[in-house]
Amino acid sequence: MNDSPRRRELTRLAAQLFVQEGFDRTTVRMLAQEMGIKSGSLFHHFRDKQEILCAVIEEGTQNALAIAREALEASEPNPEARLHAMARAHLETLLTDRNAHVVALYEWRRLDAESRAHLSHLRDAYEALWQEVVGDALDAGLIHGDKFLVSRFVLGALNWTVRWYDPDGSRTPEELARELIAMITPSSR
Amino acid sequence: MNDSPRRRELTRLAAQLFVQEGFDRTTVRMLAQEMGIKSGSLFHHFRDKQEILCAVIEEGTQNALAIAREALEASEPNPEARLHAMARAHLETLLTDRNAHVVALYEWRRLDAESRAHLSHLRDAYEALWQEVVGDALDAGLIHGDKFLVSRFVLGALNWTVRWYDPDGSRTPEELARELIAMITPSSR
DNA sequence: AGCATAACCAAGCAAGCGCTAGTGTAAACA
DNA sequence: TGTTTACACTAGCGCTTGCTTGGTTATGCT
């Protein structure tokens, strides 16, 4: 029951509805109708509504982690390039997996205790990656301050973009990432 | 009906419940019971549940705006001090009015169209204040980049603090504000 | 042919939801 | 003294919710 094409399709659709309506206002009947099935049939794929939420967030976070790792591998090894690669990867996932990430940001508190514990590990792994890259930049004298503080400030700035960033606008994620890194790296000017 | 001590008390309590449970999961019966009255009596103070949400967010935003203006008046006139004053004021409101602000951040999308339009003006006024202060700092050569971009990055970093900041921890809002401003002002070191 | 499995449906239960209508009461005001 | 005002109550209506139950259909394996 844990992984089928059908389930994946449902998860994708659920993410979209959760963004449009919010988790609590999205009824199982809505999701079913959008999928062209009856509401009862949903429970063949998911134990309960909670599990749908968990699946949505899990997939988004897994993707973010994978993309960040790829970006680091493809990046030049100097600290500034790595910082830039992380920021750019973050912004790009925020776009390609937008629905899942908005759900993760705004509906996290609707998770029950065990789902939250499970997903916390994934999220922590992602944040640890950031702290590593930020730590290297600090050691290299590229930026100054506290490793954890800088990581959190940067992550906050990046996540906030879902509120205002327009992908059809004039700026690419690439440019946005560069401007953010430029803002915090005095020496690079 | 629009402003009484009783209504204010209800608004404060509602903010707390909205944070704990989320807006949709908070029932009028819960709020009434917590207040020691019956659910029907709530509708003497508010037209409907929506209006409670609107009241919560409005009060929080009004306070933030007022405190930011006071902070600017009390600040020294140089751009760096003003930046610092804004950041510090933001963090302090985030603490003293924490519930209202968390609701504003996470339940904004549950507002109906007219409430949203009404509150957007308040929020825009607050953001305009930031853009003015950031703009001055740019003109003074204290920081570099785009006025709107920098404002949004900074606001994002600040708002994200509600996710991790522990008021009983070792750092004061004052220190946090200083570290953030230091991060983006290369020349100040 | 016989069987397993995945996917679905029709029908509905029990609980909970926001909100309304009509009434009571005590203090404040004229 | 009579009237208004603020606040609360009782009792429920009409509807929606997540989820269950018991059964059906399509597909593909052995």
Answer for B33: CB within 7 Å of strand C: no
| A33/chain B closest Cα distance in angstroms | 22
User: With 90 as the cut, is the pLDDT of residue B115 above it?
Assistant: yes
pLDDT for B4 equals 81
Q: Tell the burial category of A3 from Cβ atoms under 10 Å away from its Cβ (0-12, 13-18, 19+).
A: exposed
Query: From the C1' of C9, which residue's alpha carbon is nearest?
Result: A38
From chain A residues 146-185, the ones with a CB under 8 A of any chain B CB are 146, 149-150, 152-161, 163-164, 176, 179-180, 182-184
For residue B103, what is the nearest residue in chain A, using CA coordinates? A106
Q: Are A105 and A18 in contact (CB under 8 A)?
A: no
pLDDT for A1 equals 53
From chain A residues 130-149, the ones with a CB under 8 A of any chain B CB are 143-146, 149
Question: What single letter denotes the amino acid at residue B83?
Answer: L
Structure tokens belonging to residue B46 = 């508010």
∠ CA B43-B46-B52, nearest 5°, is 120
Q: What count of other Cβ atoms lies within 10 Å of the Cβ of residue B29?
A: 12
- CA proximity to B21, closest of A149, A165, A109, A168: A109
From chain B residues 96-135, the ones with a CB under 8 A of any chain A CB are 106, 109-110
Instruction: Say if the Cβ atoms of A145 and B183 lie within 8 Å.
Output: yes
Contacts of B156 in chain A (CB under 8 A): 156-161, 163
Question: What single letter denotes the amino acid at residue A134?
Answer: V
How many Å apart are CA A7 and CA A46, to the nearest integer?
A: 8
∠ CA A113-A25-B47, nearest 5°, is 115
Nucleotide with smallest C1' distance to residue B47 CA:
C19
∠ CA A7-A110-B31, nearest 5°, is 140
| B149/chain A closest Cα distance in angstroms | 8
Span B92-112, mean pLDDT? 96
Q: Given CB atoms, is A186 within the 8 Å cutoff of chain B?
A: yes
Question: Using the 8-state DSSP alphabet, how is residue A22 labeled?
Answer: -
User: With 50 as the cut, is the pLDDT of residue B185 above it?
Assistant: yes
User: How far is Cα of residue B30 from the mean position of the Cα atoms in its chain?
Assistant: 25
Q: Are B122 and B58 in contact (CB under 8 A)?
A: yes
Low-confidence stretches of chain A (pLDDT < 50) are 188-189
Q: Are A42 and A28 in contact (CB under 8 A)?
A: yes
Answer for B29: CB within 7 Å of strand C: yes
For residue B108, what is the nearest residue in chain A, using CA coordinates? A106
Q: Which residue has the higher pLDDT, B183 or A39?
A: B183
Q: What count of other Cβ atoms lies within 10 Å of the Cβ of residue B25?
A: 14
- CA proximity to A183, closest of B4, B37, B26, B152: B152
- Expressed in angstroms, the distance from the first to the final Cα of chain A is 54
Q: C29 C1' – B5 CA distance, angstroms?
A: 20
Span B122-135, mean pLDDT? 96
User: How far is Cα of residue A156 from the mean position of the Cα atoms in its chain?
Assistant: 12
- CA proximity to A83, closest of A135, A133, A139: A133
- H helices present in B5-48, as ranges: 5-21, 28-35
Q: Are B30 and B21 in contact (CB under 8 A)?
A: yes
pLDDT for A3 equals 75
User: With 60 as the cut, is the pLDDT of residue B184 above it?
Assistant: yes
Structure tokens belonging to residue A24 = 């609590």
Q: Return mean pLDDT, chain B.
A: 94
Q: At A2, give phi and psi (nearest 5°).
A: -85, -10
Residue bearing tokens 């020349």: B187
Bases of chain C below 7 A from a protein C-beta are: 6-12, 16-22
Q: C7 C1' – A41 CA distance, angstroms?
A: 8
Query: B68-91: per-residue pLDDT in tens?
Result: 999 999 999 999 999 999 999 999
Answer for B28: CB within 7 Å of strand C: yes
How many Å apart are CA B12 and CA B170, to the nearest integer?
A: 28
| A142/chain B closest Cα distance in angstroms | 11
pLDDT for B1 equals 54
Instruction: Say if the Cβ atoms of A183 and B144 lie within 8 Å.
Output: yes
Question: What single letter denotes the amino acid at residue A68?
Answer: A
User: With 80 as the cut, is the pLDDT of residue B187 above it?
Assistant: no
State the helix-helix crossing angle for A147-160 and A173-184, rounded to 10 degrees.
150
pLDDT for B136 equals 97
